[in-house]
Structure 1
Amino acid sequence: MKYGRLVLQPEQFCLWQEVKVLTSFPQRLVGMLLQQGLPRGQAYWFPSCTAVHSWGMSFAMDIIGLDRQQRIIAVRRNVQPGVMIRLKGVSSIIECEAGYPFPLEHWCGREVVFEEREVTYE
């Protein structure tokens, strides 16, 4: 699994400091199901994804859709447990805690860049 952060361009503003990139089928299937919540500053990124579900989850989340150039093109706030969301025109999806404090809707069309980092185990 890749880890890193997502940064809004061009001002290099860090949107999420801790991002897990879920690419394999088992990772995508489980997603955030085992979480009891998601701390601020953390997110999950699903590359090559157009829909997500919140079945079996115990908390609400915000969903952000990116196009092929990784520009924000869709934002769905406060998605409750037990639903499926399909975002038209997206090629990847970010999931974060509901009530994310930044104005993502106003940044539609802006590029988000993933900066990978090495994972160190202590």
Structure 2
Amino acid sequence: MARLSFGFFRQWVARRYKGGDAHSEYGSGSEAPVGATGRCGRRAVHHYFGRRHGSVPPLRLRLAASFWRRAAGLFLLRDMGPHEGLWLRPCSAVHTFGMRRAIDVVFMDRRGRILKTVHALRPNRAAWCARAYSVVELPAFYCRRHGRYDAALRRAMRAGR
């Protein structure tokens, strides 16, 4: 069986869906419009730019290192976005008394390794981990929606130090 090169495949896709050569209309092929339709209304091959397909969007952590910031916690962050969290350091226990929404809680040691994850901790509950040094509070179901949330946490922690 003959091996097909990527260049051959790109030319085939361009001819099939655009009726021309791959390099004629869009240059090298990287500028092709995403989701463009070709002949007969068929969809062209989708290109994902910037992030790899399935990767986690950038997470932004707000550091709460002082006593008063840790004591206030998420009470001050009522407008927390879907990719924002609060990093409590040092901390080994959290509560959701007086809160109106559930949160995901990730307990970590001094080296940033995840010790325990509590998914969707409901209001008026508490969670703790005796060996934890820091805690990250995230929007509810963030950890389940993003399977690689640990990598996003590491990147955000490196940026927030």
- Same fold flag (TM > 0.5): yes
Aligned to 1:115: 158
- Structure with more of its chain in strand, by fraction: 1
Amino acid at match of 1:48: P
Q: TM-score, normalised by structure 2?
A: 0.55
Partner of 2:31: none
Letter in 2 for 1:65: F
For residue 82 of structure 1, the aligned residue among 124, 137, 144 is 124
Q: Specify the code of the residue in structure 1 equivalent to 2:69.
A: Q
Instruction: After the TM superposition, list the runs of 4 or more consecutive aligned residues in structure 1 that deviate by more than 2 angstroms.
Output: 13-17, 34-38
Secondary structure at the aligned position of 2:87 is classed as strand
Q: Secondary structure at the match of 1:89?
A: coil
SS of 1:32's equivalent in the other structure is helix
1:102 is aligned to 146
* Deviation (angstroms), 1:97: 0.4
Higher relative contact order (CA 8 A, sep 6+): 1
Displacement after TM superposition at 1:104 (Å): 6.0
Normalised by the length of structure 1, the TM-score is: 0.71
Higher helix share: 2
Structure 1 unmatched runs, 5+? 1-12, 118-122
Aligned length: 101
**Structure 2 unaligned residues grouped into runs of 5+:** 1-54
Q: Any idea what SS the aligned residue of 2:65 has?
A: coil
> Identity, % of aligned pairs?
23
Q: Which has the larger radius of gyration?
A: 2
Which one-letter code corresponds to 2:158 in the other structure?
Answer: E
